Structure 1
Amino acid sequence: MLLTKDTTIHFLTSEYPFLIESLALHNGSFEKLKNPLLRQTVGRIATVEKAAGMGNESVLSLLLFIAGEIMAQTGQPVEIVPPVVLQAQFSGKASREQRLTMLKEIIKELHEGVEFATLQEKFNKTVGDISPEEIASLEQTLVNEGMPEAEIKKMCHLHAALFQNALEGQEMPQVPPGHPVDTYLKENMRAKKLTAEIRDTLDLVSGEAGEKSWPFAVGRLKALTLDLADIQTHYVRKENQLFPLLELHDLSAPGKVMWEVHDDIRHLFRRGQDLLDTDDRSSIIEALKELVDEVDEMFRKEENILFPMSLQLLTDADWGRCRQGDDEIGYSFDIVPDSQWVAPASSTGHEKTAQTGFVDLSTGKLPEQVVDAILCNLPVDISFVGADDKVAYYSDSAHRIFPRSAAVIGREVKNCHPSKSVHMVTEILEAFKKGERDKAEFWLELGGKFIHIQYLSLKNGQGEYLGCLEVGQDATHLRSLNGQRRLLEWT
């Protein structure tokens, strides 16, 4: 742990409750810390430096006492930054671990409600600057320590605001045309023009003066919002291509948090488009302003944090895999990646055997290419998750309901779903493994289609669990059928 004059009493007593009694015995002025209300209020802004002043002792003396108590009670090493060390100088020399400790303390205080301006000043004094990789490591650490992704998502705008000045002074590494990040940035450029046009149109129709022009502007807003909605393909590519690669490098938290934000933006698109079919001008203006705010904020998160961090972390081979799968999912705004950047030959995905063999099945033997063709042409989508809860296969059909790409192979299934539904997937798989259930069935309306989904537990002849088969089908046509149509009438 890193202990400085700016560490708050609330943080210390929350992390190490025994300090409440220890500090009271050490200095009678700290008896008031036994009051929970005081710890939750004054304690949030009272630093070690301020506490030392209230107790009429030197800051260094109090730092040494607190460090000694923590080490004696927990055995945990404590690093002290003496008050005579200039914080600006220290921040430049601090190790990565020290910086992350300071950042974690600041973010936890932010989540606990400490005033933003106070923490902004503390950040500037103790850290000063921050890299995208450090932000990603910070989020991963918080998730590993039990903070839900949804909680981080709720505060991520404040996180971005806290780090904004430090990040905006950094330049993102240049990438050649055709590199996956180059394509993401081109999509962002197109989308930024659309959000700017929506803002300009909203400004024209806001207030009483805009009431007369509203009938003419609403059609324009519908068209612009529909065009902007294509950015969602960009999000799907991140979820199915970029995030799995980060997970291979033990960095799952940033993707999970960002996926939650993607879902929020998708909801805002649906809400905005629904309202545009009404006459509620004020609600439409409010909804579309919120939508473009969130979309623009996502640009900043990507360009200041996600993309620079990914370029630092991922290898050329990783980017080659990403580029291959990107084509399977598609691109926003009909953007076509440039051909200047070529994926490394070693990153061409799953190796194909030179000789095509046969597959022995329980009721026959078929060439591998025939088995693959059968699976890809079934009128359903198939995905298989092995007994280790990792995705092992999906049918690469032309009529896929949900997007998939080769990057999903080997990915833990819990990372293939938004955080809010992961617990249900986990429950289903656990029930299958225990033999409590062998099937889970769902159906939903999606984009004017009726989608039927089944999870099926697969077992061998001895009853041992092999994995879960997911079967999805667009059943819209089937539901519309009536009467009969016999074989002789097939034409």
Structure 2
Amino acid sequence: MSEFINNREQQTYKNTERIEILKEIFRDLHNGRNLNEVKAHFDAFIGKVTIEEIAQLQLEFVNEGGMPADELQRLYTQHTDIFKGRIEEDNREKRPEEQPGHPIHTFMLENRELDKLVKTQLQVHLWQFEEEDHAENVFKLLEDINLLLDIDKHFNRKEHLIFPYLENYGIYGPTNNMWRIDDFIRDAIKEVRQTLLHYNGEKKVVLEKLNWVIEEVTAMIYREENILFPMALANFTEDEWVKIAHESDEIGFCLTEPEAVWKPERKALDENAISEGYIKMETGILSLKQLELLLNHLPVDITLIDHEDVVRYFSHGKERIFARTKAIIGRTVQNCHPPRSVHVVEDLLADFKSGKKDSEDFWIKFRDKYVYIRYFAVRDEDGKYVGTLEFTQNIAPIQAIEGEKRILS
């Protein structure tokens, strides 16, 4: 360790100095020092760590950047191992998360179901598969994997409802680190499912991948319940939890459902109230209610971000293609995408801002839909860039059109 750490004895350090000590300890880990030695230094020089210090530490390492994916996985797992039993206890008097229907209560219900699935079902079937990889045991694993795919809803609610509010409080560590690990878990589940669907004796691959999935799902449950959820509970207002609870239904739930409709201690703000004012435009005058109904009845999904890449609006039609929640309003578009795809967003916005491009189109197969995604640079009358419009449409029904239709059905 550095002289700074070795000279720590008998001294009391301020928060920033503790962060520097933590960074030095974890740099040793990143540089290949034995995990047990790092734990010993942690116990000697830090002892207990707060969730705020963990958030700051993770942000510091994210800002340094340049870490390969496999190294990130390894280190994030070791970080979790070090923090176990070393996080300061939560001494809050009120615990709204213990109330059925509260978003954290539901997240933890899901975690109990996930824990049961991977430890008492998937693990047992994996041991049987290891003994004999015949068709029946392959089929049992496939059934378990199909259930585990439901974890995507759990992760999506976390990423699109919890992370945005944390960012509003300047907490970025979970957004960057945890989302990456979520993606690694998603990918591993999908990859092993494909291997099992077309199983041809790749026993070692299945064993390695599923053992990793079991380990990482278990570790993620610990990270959420001991780091992420306490961070959120320490910062979010009751109104923010009301909004999160209200929007959770749009994404869905994993392996279980809320036990009840959460009723906070005081009545939340009425989110449905809409001003009766009017907006005068160049080609007409609409009330705010008319304008909202008009936009929500378009047979497409639209999202608008401003010149600073902040999400300002999205339409709310009956059948959205991609999940959107109100929590993304005021969030940078970069933080609304998985970290591995942010570079595509950055490149596109750079081309729009520089004037190199005015539009860009993509088309993908998504579930039972053929999705046409279009991006348009929005410019004012002087050609100045003021934002980007995302326009998404399911074109499968359009592609199926044949002949002509000239009369009412």
Whether 1:279 aligns to 2:199 is: yes
Task: Write the distance in 2 (CA, Å) between the matches of 1:460 and 1:385.
Answer: 14
> Secondary structure in 2 aligned to 1:402?
coil
Give the Å deviation of 1:435. Answer: 1.7
1:185 match: 108
Task: Write the distance in 1 (CA, Å) between the matches of 2:141 and 2:90.
Answer: 34
Give the Å deviation of 1:110. Answer: 1.5
Count how many residue pairs are aligned between Structure 1 and Structure 2.
401
Residue 38 of structure 2, aligned match among 88, 107, 119? 119
Task: Write the distance in 2 (CA, Å) between the matches of 1:350 and 1:427.
Answer: 37
Residue 158 of structure 1, aligned match among 68, 75, 78? 78
Whether 1:200 aligns to 2:124 is: yes
2:246 match: 324
2:387 match: 467
Task: Write the distance in 2 (CA, Å) between the matches of 1:117 and 1:236.
Answer: 34
Q: Given that residues 154 and 254 in structure 2 are in contact (C-alpha distance below 8 angstroms), is that contact kept between their aligned partners in structure 1?
A: yes
* 262-271 vs 152-161, which moves further: 152-161
The residue type equivalent to 2:210 in the other structure is L
How high is the TM-score relative to the length of structure 1? 0.75
Task: Write the distance in 1 (CA, Å) between the matches of 2:74 and 2:238.
Answer: 33
2:2 match: 7
The residue type equivalent to 1:115 in the other structure is N
Give the Å deviation of 1:104. Answer: 0.8
Unaligned runs of 5+ in 2: none
Whether 1:453 aligns to 2:373 is: yes
* 431-440 vs 323-332, which moves further: 323-332
Give the Å deviation of 1:394. Answer: 0.5
| Higher CA-based Rg | 1
Higher helix share: 1
The residue type equivalent to 2:56 in the other structure is S
Deviation readout 1:366-386 (Å, 9 max, x if unpaired): 333232222222222110001
1:339 match: 261
Q: Given that residues 100 and 258 in structure 2 are in contact (C-alpha distance below 8 angstroms), is that contact kept between their aligned partners in structure 1?
A: no
> Secondary structure in 2 aligned to 1:384?
strand
The residue type equivalent to 1:360 in the other structure is K
2:23 match: 104
The residue type equivalent to 1:185 in the other structure is M
Q: Given that residues 149 and 256 in structure 1 are in contact (C-alpha distance below 8 angstroms), is that contact kept between their aligned partners in structure 2?
A: no
Which structure is higher in RCO with an 8 Å CA cutoff and minimum separation 6? 2
Give the Å deviation of 1:365. Answer: 2.8
Deviation readout 1:71-105 (Å, 9 max, x if unpaired): xxxxxxxxx53x5x3xxxx5xx5432232111111
Residues 337 and 351 of structure 1: is their aligned pair in 2 closer, same or farther, counting only changes over 3 Å?
A: farther
1:56 match: none
Residue 374 of structure 1, aligned match among 271, 276, 294? 294
Residues 172 and 319 of structure 1: is their aligned pair in 2 closer, same or farther, counting only changes over 3 Å?
A: farther
Task: Write the distance in 2 (CA, Å) between the matches of 1:172 and 1:226.
Answer: 39
Q: Given that residues 443 and 450 in structure 1 are in contact (C-alpha distance below 8 angstroms), is that contact kept between their aligned partners in structure 2?
A: yes
Residues 377 and 269 of structure 1: is their aligned pair in 2 closer, same or farther, counting only changes over 3 Å?
A: farther
Residues 373 and 337 of structure 1: is their aligned pair in 2 closer, same or farther, counting only changes over 3 Å?
A: farther
Deviation readout 1:467-486 (Å, 9 max, x if unpaired): 100011222333344x3231
* 230-239 vs 435-444, which moves further: 435-444
Residues 185 and 473 of structure 1: is their aligned pair in 2 closer, same or farther, counting only changes over 3 Å?
A: same
Task: Write the distance in 2 (CA, Å) between the matches of 1:107 and 1:142.
Answer: 9
Q: Given that residues 274 and 289 in structure 2 are in contact (C-alpha distance below 8 angstroms), is that contact kept between their aligned partners in structure 1?
A: no
The residue type equivalent to 1:454 in the other structure is R
> Secondary structure in 1 aligned to 2:309?
coil
Give the Å deviation of 1:426. Answer: 2.0
Task: Write the distance in 1 (CA, Å) between the matches of 2:304 and 2:366.
Answer: 22
Give the Å deviation of 1:161. Answer: 1.1
Q: Given that residues 149 and 419 in structure 1 are in contact (C-alpha distance below 8 angstroms), is that contact kept between their aligned partners in structure 2?
A: no
Task: Write the distance in 2 (CA, Å) between the matches of 1:178 and 1:222.
Answer: 31
> Secondary structure in 1 aligned to 2:264?
coil
Deviating runs (4+, > 6 A) in structure 1? none
How high is the TM-score relative to the length of structure 2? 0.89
Whether 1:300 aligns to 2:222 is: yes
Task: Write the distance in 1 (CA, Å) between the matches of 2:269 and 2:216.
Answer: 34
Superposed, 1:92-491 pairs within 5 Å as: 93-145=12-64, 152=72, 154-167=74-87, 170=89, 174=95, 175=97, 176-196=99-119, 197-207=121-131, 210-211=132-133, 214-281=134-201, 282=203, 283-342=205-264, 344-349=266-271, 352-353=274-275, 355=276, 357-481=277-401, 483-488=402-407, 491=409
* 273-282 vs 381-390, which moves further: 273-282
Give the Å deviation of 1:457. Answer: 0.6
Task: Write the distance in 1 (CA, Å) between the matches of 2:233 and 2:68.
Answer: 23
Q: Given that residues 172 and 304 in structure 1 are in contact (C-alpha distance below 8 angstroms), is that contact kept between their aligned partners in structure 2?
A: no
Give the Å deviation of 1:160. Answer: 0.7
Deviation readout 1:160-187 (Å, 9 max, x if unpaired): 11222314x8468642222111110011
